Amino acid sequence: MSASLIGRRLSPLLACIGLLCIWQAAALVLKTDSFPTALEAIRAIPSILGDHEALLNILDSLRRMVIGLVLAALVSIPLGLMMGRSRAIASFFNPLLMVVYPVPKAALMPVIMLWLGVGDVSKTLVIFLGVSIPIIYHSFQGAKAVEEKMLWSGAAMGLSAPQRMFRIVLPAALPEILTGCRTGLVLALITMVTSEMIARQNGAGNILFNALDMAQYETVFAMIIIIGAMGIVLDAAFEKLRARLVRWSEPDVDIPVSFS
């Protein structure tokens, strides 16, 4: 393994350590109860993860996040591919997406709660809505970039339109689709926490805000670290999977894990 590759893989870890050092120094200078030091927050993490109820809350959050992301992918990828290959479908859905895109999905949570209550369904639906548009967009761009000659060749070989979509368009657009899914993964985490802060029944966001209400600031910052670590680990795992699935589309070199 080359020194440059080792440096690229260590740089995210060094950045995290640097951030913790800045946090520690700032907290020692400010000396306020509402801003604990990094060491105090880190010491609170084992008690959270060792609490059975808190651990179940975090697992509930991850379950909702995964369900929302998977449902979004199942709906958004086919829709994006069809939009990329059909001007009529794109013309119909583009204006709708342009209207929906700027609306913060968490702002829909109160309305959804009125219709569906404060349970898993409403939170999963908000995650689904927050994740869908980037996956649709990247699927659309990937399908649109497929060369017409490839589709003509498939038609000449006797492939039907659905077969061309599945055997030509989908594989060719896969790198762009997975980029959209990676973006959706990060948005799913953000939307998950936000929805749980609004509908405070259970989940990681609920733990965070309950600790804030009770002035348990070490727990608040410890939960922020835990949520951040969840994002880093999930993003790194998905990037490894993405790199394996689309290795054929990239240069034949070692691919570092990205924590962006």
pLDDT tier for residue 198 given thresholds of 50, 70 and 90: confident
Do 125 and 10 lie in one domain? The reply is: no
Mean pLDDT rounded to a whole number for the chain = 86
The answer to whether residue 44 sits within a structural domain is yes
Q: How far is CA 117 from CA 120, 130, 200, in A?
A: 9, 19, 12
Q: What's the CATH code of the domain at 165?
A: 1.10.3720.10
Number of independent structural domains in the chain: 2
Do 17 and 126 lie in one domain? The reply is: no
Do 138 and 14 lie in one domain? The reply is: no
Query: pLDDT for 24-81, tens place per residue?
Result: 999 999 888 889 999 999 999 999 999 999 999 999 999 999 999 999 999 999 999 9
Do 139 and 222 lie in one domain? The reply is: yes
Do 82 and 193 lie in one domain? The reply is: yes
The answer to whether residue 184 sits within a structural domain is yes
Query: What is the reported pLDDT for 45?
Result: 94
Query: What is the reported pLDDT for 32?
Result: 87
Do 26 and 154 lie in one domain? The reply is: no
Do 106 and 7 lie in one domain? The reply is: no
Do 22 and 53 lie in one domain? The reply is: no
For residue 158, pLDDT over 90 is answered with: no
Do 98 and 217 lie in one domain? The reply is: yes
Query: pLDDT for 68-119, tens place per residue?
Result: 999 999 999 999 999 999 999 999 999 988 888 888 877 788 888 878 887 7
Please give the full DSSP string across the chain, using - where no structure is assigned: --HHHHHHHHHHHHHHHHHHHHHHHHHHHH--TTS--HHHHHHHHHHHHT-HHHHHHHHHHHHHHHHHHHHHHHHHHHHHHHHHH-HHHHHHHHHHHHHHTTS-GGGGHHHHHHHH-SSHHHHHHHHHHHHHHHHHHHHHHHHHTS-HHHHHHHHHTT--HHHHIIIIIHHHHHHHHHHHHHHHHHHHHHHHHHHHHHS-SSSHHHHHHHHHHTT-HHHHHHHHHHHHHHHHHHHHHHHHHHHHHTGGGS-SS--PPP--
CA distance 37 to 233: 24
Q: 123: domain range?
A: 37-249
Tokens 């949520």: give the residue.
227
Please give the full DSSP string across 112-153, using - where no structure is assigned: HHHHH-SSHHHHHHHHHHHHHHHHHHHHHHHHHTS-HHHHHH
